[in-house]
């Protein structure tokens, strides 16, 4: 179990190490190394998802570890409350940024092993603190430093920890 302590409250996450072993291990690695301490949810779109894990307040991007293999073909679906990895157009380009689905975004699921169809790898779900997620999804957003949908007031992961 992972707890993301945020300035809106705690979000408890259960990783699916069975179906997404590489992605779950990667996420745990970022948590235990303290990478997520002090990073923000920098892209919040109500009705879609909350994306975070890559920027510090002020939209400073953090250097990440190497990209990981995309495990989106594991049968898990981008349903409300699940966590999946964000990436670039390249399917196998996820590193630290992740997102929490706040809608059943099944169009993000794996459909084919192509650039268009690869989808976004789900690796866990929120088991406690959806009220916190639902509060965050309604924050006011703006454009900042060339990014859209950035919360006006920082939504910060103050710390993240692995618990039993």
Give residues in contact with other proteins (CB under 8 A).
43, 45, 47-49, 51, 54, 61, 84, 86-89, 97, 99, 103-108, 116, 120, 146-149
2 vs 87 by CB, closer to other proteins: 87
User: What is the nearest approach in angstroms of other proteins to the Cβ of residue 86?
Assistant: 4
Q: Minimum Å distance from CB 148 to other proteins? A: 6
Tell me whether residue 23 or residue 105 sits nearer to other proteins (CB atom).
Answer: 105
Integer CA distances (angstroms), 164 to 14, 32, 81, in order? 10, 13, 21
**Toward other proteins, which CB reaches closer, 84 or 157?**
84
**Minimum CB distance to other proteins, residue 164 (Å):** 29
Q: How far is the CB of 2 from other proteins (least distance, A)?
A: 19
Tokens 């859209």, located at residue? 148
Three-state DSSP at 100 gives strand
Shorter beta-carbon distance to other proteins: residue 103 or 134: 103
| b/e code 52-86 from CB counts within 10 Å (16+ = b) | bbbbeeeeeebeeeeebebbbbbebbbebbbbbbb
Give the residue with the Cβ less far from other proteins, 37 or 48: 48
State the minimum distance, in angstroms, from the CB of residue 163 to other proteins. Answer: 26
CB 111 within 8 A of CB 119: yes
The sign of the torsion formed by the CA atoms of 36, 42, 45, 48 equals negative
Q: What is the dihedral of CA 161, 93, 124, 103, to 10 degrees?
A: 120
């Amino acid at each position: 179990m992972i707890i993301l302590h945020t300035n809106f409250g705690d979000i408890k996450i259960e990783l699916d190490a069975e179906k997404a072993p590489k992605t779950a291990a990667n996420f745990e690695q970022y948590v235990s190394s303290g990478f997520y301490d002090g990073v923000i949810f920098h892209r919040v779109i109500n009705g879609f998802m909350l994306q975070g894990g890559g920027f510090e307040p002020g939209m400073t991007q953090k250097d990440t570890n190497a990209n990981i293999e995309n495990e989106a073909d594991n049968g898990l679906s981008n349903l409300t409350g699940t966590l999946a990895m964000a990436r670039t157009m390249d399917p196998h380009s996820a590193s630290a940024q992740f997102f929490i689905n706040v809608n059943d975004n099944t169009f993000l699921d794996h459909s084919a092993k192509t650039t268009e169809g690869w989808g976004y790898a789900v690796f866990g779900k929120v088991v406690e603190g959806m009220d916190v997620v639902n509060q965050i999804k309604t924050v006011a957003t703006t454009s900042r430093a060339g990014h859209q949908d950035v919360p006006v007031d920082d939504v910060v992961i103050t710390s993240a920890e692995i618990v039993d």
